[in-house]
């Protein structure tokens, strides 16, 4: 019996995926649901799962950090990201430790193939992703190069806050915010906030 958790805030996605797996998956399975990340984390802390089918944009999501955080609770946990985003975003989650990535536009056949592949091979990457994954290396402009404080300011900037707002939110001097902003731009190799927002959007 395979224990599967479907974590997605859309009822149609949860119900439709569960119906497909229960009726056509070659393994008998027990399926649970979570509607947000907090509920996902709670369920994983209380029960052993063979697979989590995880949406990126559900409420409470912490995006890529979800992968490592969930695996801290269950080291043997396998995670398949299930999202509307393209393979470029998927690669970032694979790099964080997810075992698979599938677009929500995938056919029933591909969904079943992905789940079986993760159970039997330990991973599943769509054909479109394979070539990109093989040639992909972490660029020096990724947010992983930012310190905790720099990431905090990066996020606030990307959300539309100016230096004054960030100064008030973090209770830091304007000159300090300006210094951090300059360092962030240098590390991400961007020249303006528009480019910074693009990098932020690619994380989601």
The pLDDT averaged over each successive group of 10 residues in the chain (204 residues) is 98 98 97 98 97 96 95 93 88 90 95 95 83 54 80 92 93 95 91 85 72
| Region 143-203: CATH code | 1.10.10.10
Q: What is the pLDDT of residue 132?
A: 65
Q: Determine the pLDDT at residue 192.
A: 84
Q: What pTM was computed for the model?
A: 0.67
pLDDT computed for residue 182 by the predictor: 94
Query: What is residue 136's predicted lDDT score, i.e. its pLDDT?
Result: 53
CATH topology of domain 2-135: Rossmann fold (3.40.50)
Give the separation between CA 53 and CA 196, rounded to whole angstroms.
29
Say whether 143-203 and 2-135 share the same fold.
no
Q: Which two tokens stand for residue 129?
A: 């992703």
| Segments making up each domain of the chain, as ranges | 2-135, 143-203
């Amino acid at each position: 019996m395979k224990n599967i958790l479907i974590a997605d805030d859309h009822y149609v996605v949860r119900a439709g995926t569960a119906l497909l797996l229960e009726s056509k998956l070659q393994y008998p399975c027990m399926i649970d649901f979570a509607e947000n990340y907090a509920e996902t984390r709670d369920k994983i802390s209380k029960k052993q799962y063979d697979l989590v089918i995880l949406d990126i944009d559900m409420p409470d999501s912490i995006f890529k950090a979800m992968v490592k955080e969930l695996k801290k609770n269950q080291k043997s946990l396998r995670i398949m990201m299930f999202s509307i985003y393209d393979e470029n975003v998927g690669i970032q989650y694979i790099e964080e430790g997810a075992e698979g990535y599938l677009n929500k536009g995938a056919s029933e056949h591909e969904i079943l193939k992905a789940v079986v592949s993760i159970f039997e091979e330990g991973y599943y990457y769509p054909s479109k992703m394979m070539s990109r994954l093989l040639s992909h290396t972490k660029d020096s402009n990724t947010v992983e190069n930012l310190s905790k404080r720099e990431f905090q300011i990066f996020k606030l900037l990307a959300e539309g806050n100016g230096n004054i707002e960030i100064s008030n939110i973090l209770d830091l001097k304007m000159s300090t915010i300006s210094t951090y902003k300059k360092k962030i731009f240098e590390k991400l190799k961007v020249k303006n906030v528009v480019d910074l927002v693009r990098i932020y959007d690619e994380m989601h």
